[in-house]
């Protein structure tokens, strides 16, 4: 068995390539990182990697993470600037014994020492969107949450699982703001003995429920990925509405160690992509709040 699940339809090309690699015995570790890298490299995805939307100071600060489900090793970067592939830096950090999660200048220093490719990540297109938005909001800039983070969970034929995320976070966020995506247990979590999950939406709210860990915990208790996703999202959504009168966007995907998968969301038109040994063609599905 092998399988892969990812947030948003922008993952389709990455998952299409990944499904062939997994079928040819590629490891979850290599596959998940090259699939996320593919999304980071594509300039028109405005919330991941190159072409990602900038913060309120017009700088592209990126968050990314990698987790290896056999050892539970984690690597993450937050608010990193001017490097082409934050997910690769996160994977390299997962090899360290300590100092696994680095932010800002420290992350950039590590990336530079280890020879990762430098790149100005602000495209003209993203700059234009920033200027338009700044004009519209000339009174007060407020972060815009309606865009998408890539998160993936991967199971290889050997039974190993990995997960990775990458995002430019919220458009017009404050400099130094870190979302859920690089935070273990919030934006992602994977344990090869159970399964993995990853989240997208309003990071500040996803963190309140440690959403990805909660899904893996529920799967460990014996819930199917679908039931675990439904329960975790709807419970957090309810708690947020009770205590704050509103809930931010919460969308999740999960896969267990057998390649069974699930998805839940409190928004409409949440797209995600799945490929498994049983249905190897990468397929885009759309889920709605219910």
Which of 149, 165, 265, 276 is an active site residue? Answer: 149
Find the helix or strand (DSSP H, E) in which 12 lies: helix 12-23
Annotated binding site for substrate: 177-180, 200-203
In whole angstroms, give the CA distance from residue 11 to residue 13. Answer: 6
Annotated binding site: 177-180, 200-203
In whole angstroms, give the CA distance from residue 206 to residue 173. Answer: 16
In whole angstroms, give the CA distance from residue 51 to residue 41. Answer: 8
By CB under 6 A, name the one of 170, 219, 252, 274 that touches ligand SD4.
170
Taking CB under 6 A as the rule, does residue 148 contact ligand SD4? Answer: yes
| Active site annotation includes 7 | no
By CB under 6 A, name the one of 79, 169, 209, 225 that touches ligand SD4.
169
Give buried/exposed letters for 136-170 (b at 16+ CB in 10 A, else e).
eeeeebeeebebbbbbbbbbbeeebbbbbbbbbbb
Q: What is the token pair recorded at 83?
A: 């490097």
Select the span of 70-78, 122-130, 162-170, 277-285 touching ligand SD4 (CB under 6 A): 162-170
- Asked whether the beta carbons of 149 and 7 are under 8 A apart, the reply is yes
Select the span of 98-106, 134-142, 198-206, 269-277 touching ligand SD4 (CB under 6 A): 198-206
Choose between 122 and 202: whose C-beta lies nearer to ligand SD4.
Answer: 202
Taking CB under 6 A as the rule, does residue 203 contact ligand SD4? Answer: yes
Taking CB under 6 A as the rule, does residue 265 contact ligand SD4? Answer: no
Give catalytic residues, as residue numbers: 149
Binding site for ligand SD4 (CB under 6 A): 147-149, 167, 169-170, 179-181, 200-203
């Amino acid at each position: 068995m092998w399988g892969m699940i990812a947030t948003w339809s922008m993952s389709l090309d990455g998952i299409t390539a990944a499904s062939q690699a997994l079928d040819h015995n590629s490891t979850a570790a290599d596959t998940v990182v090259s699939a996320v890298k593919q999304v980071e490299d594509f300039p028109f995805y405005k919330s991941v990697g190159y072409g990602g939307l900038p913060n309120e100071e017009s700088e592209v600060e990126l968050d990314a993470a990698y987790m290896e489900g056999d050892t539970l090793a984690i690597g993450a970067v937050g608010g990193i600037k001017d490097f082409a592939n934050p997910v690769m830096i996160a994977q390299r950090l997962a090899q360290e014994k300590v100092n696994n999660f680095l932010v800002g200048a420290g992350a950039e220093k590590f990336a530079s020492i280890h020879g990762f490719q430098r790149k100005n990540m602000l495209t003209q297109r993203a700059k234009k969107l920033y200027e338009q938005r700044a004009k519209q909001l000339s009174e007060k800039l407020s972060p815009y949450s309606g865009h998408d983070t890539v998160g993936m969970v991967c199971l290889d034929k050997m039974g190993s699982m990995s997960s990775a995320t990458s995002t430019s976070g919220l458009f017009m966020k404050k400099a130094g703001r870190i979302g859920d995506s690089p935070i273990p247990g919030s934006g992602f979590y994977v344990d090869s003995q159970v399964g993995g999950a990853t989240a997208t939406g309003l990071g500040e709210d996803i963190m309140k429920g440690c959403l990805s860990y909660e899904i893996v915990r529920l799967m460990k208790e014996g819930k199917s990925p679908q039931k675990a996703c439904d329960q975790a999202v709807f419970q957090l959504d309810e708690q947020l509405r009770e205590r704050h009168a509103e809930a931010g966007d919460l969308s999740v995907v999960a896969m267990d160690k057998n390649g069974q998968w699930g998805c839940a969301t409190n928004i409409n038109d949440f797209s995600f992509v799945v490929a498994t040994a049983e249905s190897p063609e990468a397929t885009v599905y759309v889920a709605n709040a219910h």
